[in-house]
Amino acid sequence: MQGFTRRHTVQEALSWLDAQLRTLDAEDVPLRDAAGRVLASAVVSDIDVPGFDRSTMDGYAVVADSTEGATPYNRIPLKVVGDAMPGSPFTRTVARGEAVRIMTGAPLPSGADSVLPAESVDSAGETIAAISEVSPQKNVGHRGEDFVRGTTLLEAGRVLRPQDIGVMSSIGLATARLVCRPRVRLVITGNELLPTGSKPRDYQITDANGPMLAALAERDGAIVDFPGLVQDNPEAILAALGVFETQSPEPKAQSPEPRAQSPDLIIVSGGSSVGIEDHAPMLLAKHGELAVHGIAMRPSSPTGMGTLGSRLVFLLPGNPVSALCAYDFFAGRAIRALGGRSKEWPYRAVRGTLTRKISSPIGRLDYARVKVAPSTALGAGGRVEPLSVAGASVLSSTTRADGFVIVEQDSEGHAAGSDVEVWLYA
DSSP state letters, 112-157 = --EEEEGGGEEEETTEEEE-S---TTTTEEPTTSSB-TT-EEE-TT
Interior angle at CA 287, CA 284 and CA 291, nearest 5? 45
Q: Are 107 and 84 in contact (CB under 8 A)?
A: yes
Domain 54-141 has CATH 2.140.10.10: no
Specify the fold of 10-25+181-338: Molybdenum Cofactor Biosythetic Enzyme; Chain A (3.40.980)
Q: Are 318 and 326 within 8 A, CB to CB?
A: no
Beta pairing class for 76-84 and 127-130: antiparallel
> Of 142, 143, 165, 141, which Cα lies nearest the Cα of 153?
165
Q: Which amino acid is at 385?
A: E
Please give the model's pTM, rounded to 2 decimal places.
Answer: 0.86
Cα 264 to chain centroid, rounded:
18
Q: What is the widest separation between alpha-carbon atoms in the chain?
A: 104
417: left (phi over 0), alpha (psi -120 to 50) or beta: left
Strand partners, 98: 79
User: How far is it, in rounded angstroms, from Cα 322 to Cα 152?
Assistant: 43
Say what the pLDDT of residue 379 is.
56
Per-residue model confidence as pLDDT tens for the chain (426 residues): 456 778 999 999 999 999 999 999 999 999 999 999 999 999 999 999 999 999 999 999 999 999 999 999 999 999 999 999 999 999 999 999 999 999 999 999 999 999 999 999 998 778 999 999 999 999 999 999 999 999 999 999 999 999 999 999 999 999 999 999 999 999 999 999 999 999 999 999 999 999 999 999 999 999 999 999 999 999 999 999 988 533 344 444 444 444 457 899 999 999 887 777 789 999 999 999 999 999 999 999 999 999 999 999 999 999 999 999 999 999 999 999 999 999 999 999 999 999 999 999 999 999 999 999 876 555 556 899 998 655 555 677 778 899 999 999 999 999 999 999 999 998
Q: What is the pLDDT of residue 380?
A: 57
Count of all residues that appear for the chain in the document: 426
Listed residue (334, 280, 336) closest to 303, CA to CA: 280
N-to-C CA span, the chain: 40
> Where do the domains of the chain lie?
10-25+181-338, 34-48+148-179, 54-141, 348-424
Q: For residues 215 and 223, what is the distance between their CA atoms, to the nearest angstrom?
A: 10
Contact yes or no for 243/254 (Cβ under 8 A): yes
CATH number, span 34-48+148-179 = 3.90.105.10
C-alpha pair distances (Å), 349 with each of 299, 360, 379, 422: 21, 21, 8, 5
CA pair distance 168, 153, nearest whole angstrom: 8
Among residues 295, 231, 221, 229, which one has the least CA distance to residue 265? 221
Q: Are 283 and 189 in contact (CB under 8 A)?
A: no
Phi-psi region of 271 (alpha: psi -120 to 50; beta: other; left: phi over 0): left
Instruction: Report the distance separating Cα 389 and Cα 295, nearest Å.
Output: 16
**Same fold: 10-25+181-338 with 348-424:** no
Rounded distance, CA 113 to CA 111, Å?
A: 6
User: Which pLDDT does position 272 carry in this prediction?
Assistant: 84
How many angstroms separate the CA atoms of 26 and 182, rounded?
Answer: 11
Q: Please state the φ and ψ torsions of residue 407, each to the nearest 5 degrees.
A: -105, 115
The answer to whether 384 touches 420, Cβ cutoff 8 Å, is: yes
Assigned CATH topology for domain 348-424: Beta-clip (2.40.340)
